[in-house]
Amino acid sequence: MHLKSMLLCSDEKIVRVLRRTLGDLDIGVEHCLSSEDALRRLTRDRVEAIIVDCAGPGAADVLRAARTAPCNKRAIAVAILDPDTGLRSAFEIGAHFVLYKPVSAERAKSSFRAARALMKKERRRNTRVAVRFPVEMSSVDSDARLTVHTSDVGEGGLAVSLPRRSKLRGRWKLAFTLPGSDTRVEVDAEFAWEGTGIQAGLRFQDVTPDLERQLREWLGRNSPEAEKDDPPVRCQLTDLSMGGCYLDIPSPFPVSTRVTLSMRASEVELRSEGVVRVMHPDKGMGVEFTQTTPEHRGLLEKFLGRLAENPNVLPELLVEPEGLETEPGQHSRAVAGSSEPADPLLDLFRNQAALSADSFLVELRKQRGVPVAAASASA
């Protein structure tokens, strides 16, 4: 099943370039000539990407409406900007990616390769697999306990069949084992919806990265519509700490993208999960690690040690998107008053994200102890 996009643009040259580029990437295009037409389609048709020329009338309204449209609120939004338009204005109205005019086929293809990988992941979040297995439920707010059976399951929750005259409300603790797995899953959930008859939906809460991965992999194996993911993207590691890293990548993923990183240096391998906290188009992105287990910390310390011992070794690094955070900051490790050691790199992500790309990169060089003038001359 092809990915679908909606394009709001009246510039025929841009439309031709994007139709050809998106067609090469197996992404269909629904072209809208007016914001009124686009707003109607947003409420009726599901698409994986919404592309808007921000110079047109009503463009900002379309991007904002996409965030509230039930069937398209998780669509990837791409803003087409005039050269003198600031990035922040596009991100503030909901854009994930930006394309500057004039739009070339080469630049568009680079950006949409990154967008396509994320579009596939986000579409999978909507995938529901019809399956029946028992779920043990215990109420957080009372002594109620019951065992129900699922009717379908997805990354974000599951639907269950209730005993007659039962009413699900509030928060619940769930325990179950996915078919074909030996691992018992325990997760918090809340009542999400009530269907006709005895059907009800439960939305997962505070899902750990390990459970996210387990659900993702199980759905990938069992979904009849599962499609092959795009391959991981090769990038360059420029900065690394115990809390995060900065990557040099031509088409970075947007802020709040969950990513998986695979690193290798001098036969030491490390796989990390994180969330993009800073993004600079055409330059790079800052990723905060979300894993805090002793095992991951030990591997990370070993990796850092190997890099310190071999300063001339260039680490191999691949990055793959896993989707957007359901709630902003849901995987942040930072809490006020935390006893964690100070991490200057994370402090930069959290406190200086509003800097321009060039100013941010200057701050990164200062942290490395590289003279700014020399670094700029060699850049």
Tens digit of each residue's pLDDT (9 = 90 or more) over 11-26: 999 999 999 999 999 9
C-beta of residue 85 within 8 angstroms of C-beta of residue 54: yes
Q: CA-CA distance, 271 to 253, in Å (whole number)?
A: 18
Look up the CATH number of domain 233-378: 2.40.10
Q: Which two tokens stand for residue 195?
A: 């269907």
Q: Which residues contact 201 (CB under 8 A, 6 or more apart)?
A: 157, 158, 159, 160, 191, 192, 193, 194, 195
Q: Which two tokens stand for residue 249?
A: 């990548």
Rg (CA), the chain: 22
Altogether, the residues listed in the chain come to a count of: 379
Do the domains at 3-125 and 233-378 have one common CATH topology? no
C-beta of residue 217 within 8 angstroms of C-beta of residue 180: no
Q: Which two tokens stand for residue 352?
A: 């200086």
Q: What is the pLDDT of residues 247-298, one digit of tens each?
A: 999 999 999 999 999 999 888 899 999 999 999 988 999 999 998 889 889 9
CA distances from 47 to 10, 123, 185, 370 (A): 20, 9, 32, 46
Q: Where are the beta strands (DSSP E) in the chain?
A: 3-8, 27-32, 49-53, 76-81, 97-100, 129-130, 134-139, 145-153, 157-161, 171-177, 184-194, 199-205, 233-240, 244-248, 257-265, 268-280, 284-289, 316-324
Q: Which two tokens stand for residue 81?
A: 């900007």
Q: CA-CA distance, 286 to 147, in Å (whole number)?
A: 44
**C-alpha atoms less than 13 angstroms from C-alpha of 177 in its C-beta half-sphere:** 6
What letter would DSSP give residue 101?
A: S
- Angle, in degrees to the nearest 10, between helices 35-44 and 59-66: 10
C-beta of residue 331 within 8 angstroms of C-beta of residue 275: yes
- Domain 3-125: give its CATH architecture: 3-Layer(aba) Sandwich (3.40)
Angle at 349 between CA 98 and CA 364, to 5 degrees: 95
Q: pLDDT tens digits, the chain, 379 residues: what are they?
A: 489 999 999 999 999 999 999 999 999 999 998 999 999 999 888 899 999 999 989 998 999 888 888 788 889 999 999 988 877 788 888 899 999 999 999 989 989 999 999 998 888 777 788 999 999 999 988 888 999 999 999 888 999 988 876 666 789 999 999 999 988 999 999 988 877 668 888 989 888 878 888 888 898 788 766 667 889 999 999 999 999 999 999 999 999 999 999 999 888 899 999 999 999 988 999 999 998 889 889 999 999 988 888 888 889 999 999 888 865 555 555 443 445 668 999 999 999 998 989 999 999 999 887 544 433 333 3
Q: Which two tokens stand for residue 176?
A: 């179950």
Q: Count CB neighbours of 325 within 10 A.
A: 17
Residue reference for tokens 């406190």? 351
Bridge partners of 274? 259, 289
The structural domains of the chain, with segments of one domain joined by +, span 3-125, 129-222, 233-378
SS3 label, residue 208: coil
Q: CA-CA distance, 237 to 216, in Å (whole number)?
A: 27
Look up the CATH number of domain 129-222: 2.40.10.220
Angle at 107 between CA 101 and CA 112, to 5 degrees: 105
Q: CA-CA distance, 58 to 223, in Å (whole number)?
A: 38
| Omega before residue 102 within 30° of 0, cis | yes
